[in-house]
């Protein structure tokens, strides 16, 4: 390759292959580390794979750099619920408000174990998580509780698309998602949002319509320019981050 390094294309290929192989990441040949890192763009233009292996980590921020970013705070960890049963995931606004789990899908025993494992990884990394917000869905509430990383509160804006039928429809849902991703966490802290797939046409950021069960998309909110997608973390990738953290200093955590 000659001339200017096409770092966005190379970074995409590296992260796509890494995700499919379930490894921590691949070098962007022909670009300097700073070039690879600078390929992180607002989510509307960042190229990311449409599927991440459960043990995969995909994005320009990897390893100790990712651990350091998570520990410094200021990030939104957008998480899809873990494995659920085969009942329909469609929920009305009334069912969500009543917490009617008899009419909803719930986590399977495997899903419970998956959520606990993700939470264990977050705790082992010492992430400064200020709060966990969850949709009013039984499967997301159970996921949030099993994480056991911070106080859990419901946020109706995170409810799935079927609950928005009488609340303004898809456009109102999209606006609510945009507002959440534009809101910075408390200084030096992270926030976890647990929800389901964003199943609306032309979902933005598109990654929210692609997450696997238990997968986390990490965003840095930019109120004036849209959220920046830093990385996608598969549900089984947290042990690899814990290993990467062994030589990463833990910053002081602000008191709650």
Dihedral sign from CA coordinates of 88, 58, 241, 223: negative
Q: Under DSSP, is residue 180 helix (H, G, I), strand (E, B) or coil?
A: helix
Q: What percent of the chain has pLDDT over 90?
A: 68
pLDDT digit string, tens, across residues 59-112 = 999 999 999 999 999 999 999 999 999 988 889 999 999 988 888 999 999 999
pLDDT computed for residue 246 by the predictor = 83
Asked if residues 88 and 220 have their Cβ atoms less than 8 Å apart, the reply is no
Q: Give 250's pLDDT tier (boundaries 50, 70, 90).
A: low
> CA-CA distance, 5 to 96, in Å (whole number)?
49
State the Rg of the chain over Cα. Answer: 18
pLDDT digit string, tens, across residues 31-69 = 333 333 333 333 333 455 577 999 999 999 999 999 999
Instruction: Give the Cβ contact number of residue 43 at 10 Å.
Output: 21
Strand order in the sheet with 216-220: 57-58, 228-233, 216-220, 76-80, 190-195, 129-134, 152-154
pLDDT computed for residue 194 by the predictor = 98
pTM of the model: 0.79
> CA-CA distance, 40 to 205, in Å (whole number)?
14
Residues 6+ apart with CB under 8 A from 88: 105
**Domain 42-247: what homologous superfamily?**
Phosphoglycerate mutase-like (3.40.50.1240)
Q: What percent of the chain has pLDDT over 70?
A: 77
Q: Where are the domains of the chain?
A: 42-247
pLDDT at 24 over 80: no
Q: Which of 182, 203, 205, 181 is nearest to 193 (CA)?
A: 181
pLDDT computed for residue 16 by the predictor = 43
What are the tokens at 202? 């032309």
Q: Match 């490894």 to its residue by tokens.
A: 23
Q: If DSSP states are collapsed to H, E and C, what string results for 185-237?
A: CCCCCEEEEEECCCCCCCCCCHHHHCCCCCCEEEEECCCCCCCEEEEEECCCC
DSSP letter at 157?
G
Main-chain dihedrals φ then ψ at residue 116, nearest 5 degrees = -60, -40
pLDDT computed for residue 13 by the predictor = 41
Would you give the end-to-end CA distance of the chain in angstroms? 51
């Amino acid at each position: 390759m000659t001339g200017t390094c096409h770092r966005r294309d190379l970074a995409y290929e590296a992260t796509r292959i890494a995700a499919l192989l379930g490894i921590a990441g691949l070098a962007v040949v022909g670009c300097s580390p700073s070039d690879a890192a600078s390929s992180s763009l607002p989510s509307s233009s960042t190229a990311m794979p449409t599927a991440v292996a459960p043990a995969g980590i995909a994005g320009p921020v990897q390893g100790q750099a990712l651990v350091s970013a998570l520990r410094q705070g200021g990030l939104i960890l957008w998480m899809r619920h873990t494995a659920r049963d085969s009942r329909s995931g469609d929920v009305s606004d009334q069912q969500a408000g009543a917490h009617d789990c008899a009419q909803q899908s719930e986590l399977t025993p495997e899903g419970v174990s998956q959520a606990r494992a993700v939470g264990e990884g977050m705790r082992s990394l010492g992430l400064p998580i200020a709060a966990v917000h969850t949709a009013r869905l039984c499967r997301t509430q159970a996921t949030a509780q099993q994480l056991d990383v911070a106080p859990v509160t419901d946020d109706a804006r995170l409810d799935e698309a079927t609950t928005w039928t009488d609340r303004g429809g898809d456009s109102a849902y999209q606006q609510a998602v945009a507002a959440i991703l534009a809101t910075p966490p408390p200084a030096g802290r992270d926030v976890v949002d647990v929800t389901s797939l964003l199943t609306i046409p032309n979902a933005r950021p598109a990654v929210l319509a692609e997450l696997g069960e238990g997968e986390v998309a990490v965003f840095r909110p930019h109120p004036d320019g849209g959220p920046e997608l830093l990385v996608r973390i598969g549900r089984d990738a947290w042990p690899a981050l814990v290993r990467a953290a062994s030589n990463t200093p833990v910053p002081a955590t602000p008191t709650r």
